[in-house]
Chains A and B, each alone.
Chain A
Amino acid sequence: MRKFTKKELAQYDGKGGTRTYVAYRGKVYDVSQSFLWQDGRHQVLHSAGKELSGSLAEAPHGPELLEKFKVVGILESS
């Protein structure tokens, strides 16, 4: 499975036709097909191309909604 650095992940911000990836607990998910991630933004406050473990802890939903999407890689810790 592909390994992503944070810099590489940031390229998949959903803008200008790029894929929309987000990371959660080390896994990189492809949310490009999600209505709720159009243009790389989610509910005004969140942006794609980032590690969202901290944000998800405060969200009104758990990881089960993210886990519906395909895992496309692993986020390297450093």
Chain B
Amino acid sequence: MAKVAREVVEKAGVNLDQLVELLVKNAAAELTTYYYYTILRVNLIGLEGETIKEIAETARVEDRNHFEALVPRIYELDGKLPEDMKSFHDTSACPPASLPEDPRDIQAMLRVLVEAERCAVRGYTHLCNLTAGKDHRTYDLSQAILNEEIEHESWFSEFLGEGPSGHFLRRGETSPFVSKFLR
């Protein structure tokens, strides 16, 4: 635990118990999404499926990075992760990104992917709103993750025909915003 770091956040008016619980729920969402995206990625096959496999893989790896980046902040604030995996899964801030009934239905696959990203965008927006001007470190981390989640959403949204994402996919390295928390 980082004693003074915790005190200053509390003094700034943040309810630390609520914040830590939210961070754990979002960490759970990242790790379970990493798991479910593994299944989705494997099932992205055929001409259409292969087209989005690469971005599903990038989003999958970056979600795992988000989990890795959130864990130290949880412990700094005197939180901890649940000891059993099932309760961790069930406490997730987002619903399971389960494989659709027909995995060959690429539109259905994309809807699962984009809804998972939209849930994450809402979650980190919420965390940014709660910590802005009060808990600079959690805000910085949440904002970095939010940047990547917004990009993920825009990639899948583009494939759903909702409009252009406005930017290129990753070139090589993953997590351009969150990598500073992973060193």
Q: Which residues of A contact B (CB under 8 A)?
A: 35-36, 38, 43-45, 58-61
Contact = CB atoms under 8 A, between A and B. Distances in A.
A45 B130 CA distance: 11
Contacts of B95: 35-36
A35 B36 CA distance: 16
B90 interface: yes
6 closest A-B pairs by beta carbon, nearest first, are: A35-B95, A60-B125, A60-B122, A60-B126, A44-B21, A44-B22
A41 B120 CA distance: 18
Contacts, number: 27
A60 B94 CA distance: 14
B122 A35 contact: no
A37 to B, nearest CB: 11
A36 B25 CA distance: 11
Main secondary structure of the interface of B (DSSP, over half): helix
Contact of A45 (B18, B90, B96, B121): B18
A63 to B, nearest CB: 14
The size class of the interface chain B forms with chain A is 10 to 19
**Best-surrounded residue of A35, A44, A59 (most CB of chain B within 10 A):** A44
B126 A43 contact: yes
Nearest to B23: A44
Nearest to B19: A44
Interface string B87-120: 0001011111000000000000000000000000
Nearest to A34: B95
B116 to A, nearest CB: 12
Nearest to A35: B95
B123 to A, nearest CB: 8
B129 interface: yes
A44 B22 CA distance: 6
